[in-house]
Amino acid sequence: MDCGPACVKMVASHYGASYSLDFLKELTDFNKIGTNFLSIRRCLLHLGFKVTAVQIPFYSTDDLPGLNEAPLPCIVHWRGNHFVVVYEITDKYIRIADPAQGKIKLTIPEFIDSWSENKTEGLHGKSGHALIIIPGGELLKETGPKKDHSVKAFLWPYLRLYKKTIGLLILGILAISLLQYVLPFLNQFLVDRGIVGKDISFVKLILLGMLGLFAGRITIELFQNWLILNLGTGLNNTMIYDFLKKILRLPIIFFDQRTKGDFLQRLQEFSRIEQFITNQLINSLISILFLLIFGVVLWIYNKFIFVIFVVSTILYIVWVLLFIRKRTILDYKLFGKLSGQQNNVYEILEGIHDIKINNLEESKYNHWKKEQDDLFRIQKKNFRLSQLQKNGATILSQFKDIIITFYSARAVINGELTLGMMLSIQYIIGQMNVPVMHVITFIQEYQNSVNSIRRIEDVFSKKEEAAIVKKSSDADISGLMQQDIVIRELFFGYNEEVNILSRINLRIPAGKTTAIVGSSGSGKSTLLKILMRFYDPAGGEIILGDQSAFSIPLEDWRANCSAVLQDGFLFSETLQYNITLSDGAIDKERLQDCLHWARCESIVERLPQGVDTKVGNDGAQLSYGQIQRILIARALYKNAPLILLDEATNALDTINESAILINMKEQLKDKTLVIVAHRLSTIKNADLIVVLDRGFIVEQGTHTSLMELKGTYADLVNAQVNLNL
């Protein structure tokens, strides 16, 4: 739940400033676990507010002012994992705005119970965290165009692709509407002239006409359904294609901020949008035309009955609209729970070995069941709300039908209407009830679709990697990659509060091997990922020759990099594809060489179809050591001038590791090789060893020179030697 940015948005709105949620998410370093108090404070300061983060009691004391005297609105920490806005405090109650549930009125004890973090003290001794906010002059204006999250803005570019299909659908709707216009008059003539006049020939003629109208309508509807199927399938596919294309262009840090369940849940939102277009939107167009046509006919028959119908329909719509806000809140909560439950299932499947060995089956089941029970409660609440909405609307509709039936029956008795006209009116009312329900359903689904579009636009609004980098100069990229890589005053942190890397100054010599070592969490892998251009540093620069690395297009940079990551991945494709990453023509001789250099021949021999055997999640199961050898073969096959290895041999036995390192040294002797490793055997022969500690470079040199220093590197080596004894 994006409660932090949502609270900032509400506070800013109170002071007359409007910001998009996407803009505020960027300022609060929003990620997969949400945000925190310090991030929210920093965001508010950036916007121009004066902010004080405090832990205060609710009631003022002689020494401390309390929350009951604080300027409002303010943001408070809620139930240990949430944020809400307090906007009114009286002697008896407090009003809060909860991003998850809307505006809520609470008694003071109820509020303190959810806000206070020291539960053991009395009511007057309890305190909690709050952000006290006051405007500090002119507030920051959001730069850049604000994204329009409306259904029209999102769907229009896609609907334009199917103008012809939509045009044919509209023609079909008009044709059906014309046929429907005739039916009430045919019903009237059937009763007044055919039945009352006892003219069986006329009855047959009318029924024959009705049969023709019915056949025409069925034919048109069959054609419409075929068009709707093509429209829905085409729209859904096109939207999902664009979504996946967008995802593949986003920077790595975006994926660090999202869970798998979140992505998959957003993909399912497209089905809701497709259903909205193909079912609700088309049905609503038909329904609106039917309402207009039958409304005109009803007006012709009896103006008073028409007024009754219009007034009751307005009441019907108002009743339904009263529930939209609550259903929107429940819809957002449901989305969050569904996403979380998908993650729980992934965690169980991916961690099944650890679950088994640690006897966690019951614990994980209970955790899943608790989350599922929470999900069920939300669904049940949504169902109750839906039933209340539906039953209230049904009562209004039935009451309307009874009034119209009574009035039209009395009009027949008084000679104001014929029996045929009364039956036609009943037919018209029956035909108009369904379109009204369709329009109401459209209003509900429209709101749901807006919610879905906002969640999808949250992805579409993010900057792509290509949009972040500068335009390339005309410099020779291959020549630049042969230069030393010079890092100057580089800083990096996943948020502005903590730097993972600080003041990194380093020259990585071209054509040499550089090893980066340090304790876990010292920033080794992060530095390597910056060299891969997965992350942009917060400060500093990386220079090749006389050009910044960040002026080189990402595609060109990565085309000149090979890498083996700690969490390297095998696709559900053949072994050959996983090494060459190509479905086209490949260099078979180089493939065989890479298999030999990475000691993969034994793997190939055991596979039933050799290099054509499918591996990965849906293929032959391999050990992690075998996977690492395949990943090394992939890096060698690419033959890039810059090779980046992150614990690339940590799962290999010493025999395979030694042989592979010898082969790599021979084959990569003219390449720039950067290695992150813990094993002494992997790093001791490096031309340059860089020692990181808590994000700082503390030592540089060769193995011999660093051992003579008897510093951090020597301690790491000695600890490893002692461990191996």
Q: CA angle, 124 as apex, 121 and 126 as ends, to 5°?
A: 50
Residue 641, phi then psi, degrees to nearest 5: -70, -20
For 220, half-sphere exposure in the C-beta direction (CA atoms, 13 angstrom radius) is 20
Same domain flag for 648 and 522: yes
Residue entry with tokens 């502005």: 496
H helix or E strand, kind and range, residue 658: helix 654-667
Same domain flag for 424 and 282: yes
State the Cα–Cα distance between residues 200 and 204, nearest whole angstrom. 6
Residue 124, pLDDT score: 59
Find all residues with CB under 8 Å of 164, minimum gap 6, and list them. Answer: none
Residue 102, phi-psi category: left (phi > 0), alpha (psi -120 to 50), beta (remainder): left
Pairing of strands 539-544, 547-548: antiparallel
User: Tens of pLDDT along 443-453?
Assistant: 777 777 777 78
Print the SS3 string covering 572-597.
CCEHHHHHHCCCCCCCHHHHHHHHHH
Find out whether 584 and 509 touch, Cβ atoms under 8 Å: no
Confidence of residue 118 (pLDDT cuts 50, 70, 90): low
State the Cα–Cα distance between residues 160 and 355, nearest whole angstrom. 51
417: number of Cβ within 10 Å: 22
Mean pLDDT of the chain: 83
Is there a domain that residue 490 lies in? yes
Mean pLDDT score, 660-678: 89
For residue 674, give the amino acid letter.
V
Q: DSSP letters along 299-349, please?
A: HHH-HHHHHHHHHHHHHHHHHHHTTHHHHHHHHHHHHHHHHHHHHHHHHHH
* Nearest to 568, CA basis, from 632, 642, 641: 632
Q: DSSP letters along 553-571, please?
A: -HHHHHHTEEEE-TT----
Is there a domain that residue 472 lies in? no
> SS3 of 678, please?
coil
Is there a domain that residue 106 lies in? yes
Residue 335 maps to which CATH number?
1.20.1560.10
Residue 80 maps to which CATH number?
3.90.70.10
Is there a domain that residue 114 lies in? yes
Q: Single out the residue in 461, 491, 522 at which a domain terminates.
A: 461
Find all residues with CB under 8 Å of 652, minimum gap 6, and list them. Answer: 625, 628, 629, 660
State the Cα–Cα distance between residues 26 and 19, nearest whole angstrom. 12
For residue 147, give the amino acid letter.
K
Same domain flag for 447 and 592: no
For residue 501, give the amino acid letter.
L
388 vs 264, higher pLDDT:
388
Mean pLDDT score, 470-491: 74
State the Cα–Cα distance between residues 203 and 191, nearest whole angstrom. 9
pLDDT at residue 629 is higher than 90 = yes
pLDDT at residue 492 is higher than 80 = yes
Is there a domain that residue 580 lies in? yes
Q: CA angle, 387 as apex, 383 and 388 as ends, to 5°?
A: 120
Q: Single out the residue in 135, 164, 179 at which a domain terminates.
A: 135
User: Tens of pLDDT along 240-269?
Assistant: 888 888 888 888 888 877 777 677 778 778
pLDDT at residue 361 is higher than 70 = yes
Is there a domain that residue 141 lies in? no
User: Tens of pLDDT along 39-95?
Assistant: 888 888 888 888 888 888 888 777 778 888 888 899 998 877 788 999 998 888 899
Residue 482 maps to which CATH number?
3.40.50.300
pLDDT at residue 716 is higher than 70 = yes
Find out whether 246 and 134 touch, Cβ atoms under 8 Å: no
pLDDT at residue 282 is higher than 50 = yes
Same domain flag for 494 and 442: no
| DSSP state letter for 450 | H
Q: Single out the residue in 401, 427, 461 at which a domain terminates.
A: 461
Highest mean pLDDT (candidates 4-8, 21-25, 120-124, 228-232): 4-8
Same domain flag for 426 and 487: no
Q: How far is CA 99 from CA 78, 379, 399, in A?
A: 11, 19, 38
Find out whether 649 and 660 touch, Cβ atoms under 8 Å: yes
Mean pLDDT score, 359-371: 86
Is there a domain that residue 146 lies in? no
Same domain flag for 453 and 494: no
User: How many residues are present in the chain?
Assistant: 725
630: number of Cβ within 10 Å: 22
Same domain flag for 679 and 547: yes
The domain in which residue 85 lies consists of 3-135
Mean pLDDT score, 23-51: 78
What is the Cα Rg of the chain in Å? 35
Residue 611, pLDDT score: 92
Same domain flag for 93 and 158: no
Residue 208, phi then psi, degrees to nearest 5: -65, -40
Mean pLDDT score, 26-36: 67
Same domain flag for 391 and 420: yes
Residue 474, pLDDT score: 44
The H-assigned helical ranges of 2-132 are 3-14, 21-27, 37-47, 108-115
Confidence of residue 627 (pLDDT cuts 50, 70, 90): very high
163: number of Cβ within 10 Å: 9
Is there a domain that residue 467 lies in? no
* Nearest to 86, CA basis, from 78, 452, 157: 78
Mean pLDDT score, 592-601: 94
Instruction: Quote the tokens at residue 242.
Output: 């664009």
Find all residues with CB under 8 Å of 375, minimum gap 6, and list them. Answer: 334, 337, 338, 341
pLDDT at residue 191 is higher than 60 = yes
Same domain flag for 67 and 162: no
Instruction: Quote the tokens at residue 346.
Output: 């992934």
725: number of Cβ within 10 Å: 4
Residue entry with tokens 């499918």: 614
pLDDT at residue 458 is higher than 50 = yes
Q: DSSP letters along 239-295, please?
A: HHHHHHHHHHTS-HHHHHTS-HHHHHHHHHHHHHHHHIIIIIIHHHHHHHHHHHHHH
H helix or E strand, kind and range, residue 130: strand 127-135
* Nearest to 341, CA basis, from 378, 301, 371: 371
213 vs 143, higher pLDDT:
213
Mean pLDDT score, 25-38: 70
Same domain flag for 649 and 572: yes
pLDDT at residue 527 is higher than 60 = yes
The H-assigned helical ranges of 53-102 are none
Residue 32, pLDDT score: 54
Total of domains in the chain: 3
* CA end-to-end distance (rounded Å), the chain: 51
Confidence of residue 432 (pLDDT cuts 50, 70, 90): confident
Same domain flag for 375 and 238: yes
Confidence of residue 472 (pLDDT cuts 50, 70, 90): very low
> SS3 of 396, please?
helix
pTM beyond 0.75, yes or no: no
For residue 28, give the amino acid letter.
T
Residue 420, pLDDT score: 78
Distance between alpha carbon 432 and the CA centroid of its chain, in Å? 40
CA quadruple 528, 531, 532, 536: dihedral positive or negative?
positive
